[in-house]
Homo-oligomer: A and B are copies of this chain.
């Protein structure tokens, strides 16, 4: 059968505008919950709003169905990320969500109790991937034929899985999540750092496209490993993370990376001590700190790079260093937290010791987690301010953490032109799409519902016809389509105009257009948040040179609340309004 149909060129767009208002139906899951009203809305937690309005549903605790309304938002975030990834030359692929155990055993990550594991009929073990360092390293090992192919950046946007013990409602701590995970491959640490910087630039662009203020925080590398890492956060009181920001140098870091000095040392502090040793068993480390503070052992690493921070048994350590025969060949380092002074009330030294010259003492070192109001250790000037935050991204420089055990290397000419096997240096870069939806939802919601930025709103404008259908309004729909403005026409019968406006605001659509009895004048109600100063808004410029009837009703705060515009100028006004949202 030879086909004769209309040719499909270019490929259809993923997010399309449909020209006729009649096919611009509301999603079937649009505000199915009839209990939501102005009176009870304020008390509904944000994560419940998502399910009550019909963005998502949870078929089981921690699992997520993305309904049409929520899927539209997640797809728009995806499109923003695709665009910014492509700009830095990252290539999209899609890895299997099943990963066999052997690679994970090599990297030592198989014994993670949060891996969902399963067996196939031949008893081979797999996990549902929570992240793909193992698989992508193996893939590049198979595909990489020449050093000339480097640098390489691959990314994918797919569901990941984690057997979270106590999944909570909502998108923040579920057992599945949509993540953009990117992986970079370079010939040297220098190249890899430059790729890391390029990715940081792409992240800044992505978050700028998403409009909401964000924080880039220095972070610990944790289980993923590597040596350099940043977290990307939305600041919100509901967040599970704590960030510290310096009032002077402005540096931001999470609690595991914030070193601080006290405003004043506390001479009367009760002193606690913890014992560590170096990996080579040569040195005992005694860490002294105020007993009402929390020791952060990783801070000791700056002074004792060889410190053993694994599982430790203090009694065994002290026992080892109490043997007077071997003690002579060993050393002791005493580290005093900066909050203590020499006049602090130190406990008795706990082991006998022959030669005091073998003891080194370091003072004024920050080894406990910071507190609000303390001094930034970076500039030694500003005060630290804490805030709660929602983590939505994490970037890691990995170095050879995965390329070493999985043996990813490539022949590369050295300075004399001779080919030498070179380890490939990696980075990995995550963004949680589900978390961004949850985070922006949390940040933008108010007593009327959500307020999505235009770049990710399910659609830009909801259109209501208050009077019986007005024939000439068709030209408005044509103009909206011409201007790439995504609209939905709310034609639900038996729902009043007030209720429809309430629902559009609840869902978080930036604008509502009401076509009513004053046609050809139409009314545009402003809902979307503005990311620019009131005086500097785009529509004000358009307003000054308007060529059609257009009046503005201001709210009590001096902000524009409603625009009354002749239908012929409506699309132009809408476009100018959307530009600042």
Contacts and interface: CB of A to CB of B under 8 A. Distances in A.
* A14, A29, A139, A205 — most chain B CB neighbours (10 Å): A14
Contact of A213 (B2, B71, B455, B532): B2
Contacts of A578: 9
Interface stretch (A52-60, A276-284, A288-296, A300-308): A52-60
A1 B142 contact: no
Contact of A80 (B8, B143, B163): B8
Contact of A7 (B99, B120, B176, B455): B455
B14 A98 contact: no
A9 B455 contact: yes
Give how many copies assemble into the complex.
2
Nearest to A99: B59
A55 B409 CA distance: 23
A173 to B, nearest CB: 14
A118 B116 contact: yes
* A13, A117, A124 — most chain B CB neighbours (10 Å): A13
Given A3-B208, A100-B60, A213-B2, A9 B139 contact: no
A213 B531 CA distance: 52
A460 B7 CA distance: 14
Contacts of A71: 92-94
B1 A96 contact: no
B138 A59 contact: yes
Given A14-B13, A14-B79, A98-B175, A121 B113 contact: yes
A356 interface: no
A207 to B, nearest CB: 8
B65 A92 contact: no
Interface stretch (A38-46, A83-91, A564-572): A83-91
Interface string A192-213: 0000000000000101110101
A273 interface: no
Contact of A163 (B1, B54, B120): B120
Nearest to A97: B159
Contact of A1 (B139, B214, B484): B214
A10 interface: yes
Given A59-B138, A96-B176, A12 B143 contact: no
Given A18-B86, A68-B92, A209-B8, A98 B28 contact: no
Interface of A: 1-5, 7-18, 23, 25, 27-29, 32, 34, 54, 57, 59-60, 63-68, 71, 74, 76, 79-80, 82-83, 86, 89, 91-100, 113, 116-118, 120-121, 124, 128, 135, 138-139, 142-143, 145, 149, 152, 154, 159, 161, 163, 165, 175-176, 205, 207-209, 211, 213-214, 454-455, 460, 484-486, 531-532, 578-579
28 contacts: A1-B214, A2-B213, A2-B531, A3-B211, A5-B209, A8-B80, A9-B454, A9-B579, A10-B485, A12-B80, A13-B14, A14-B14, A16-B86, A23-B86, A28-B149, A32-B143, A57-B139, A59-B95, A59-B100, A59-B135, A63-B98, A64-B96, A65-B93, A68-B154, A71-B94, A113-B121, A120-B163, A121-B163
Given A11-B80, A59-B96, A60-B124, 9 more contacts: A3-B531, A4-B208, A9-B454, A10-B15, A16-B83, A16-B86, A32-B145, A63-B98, A116-B120
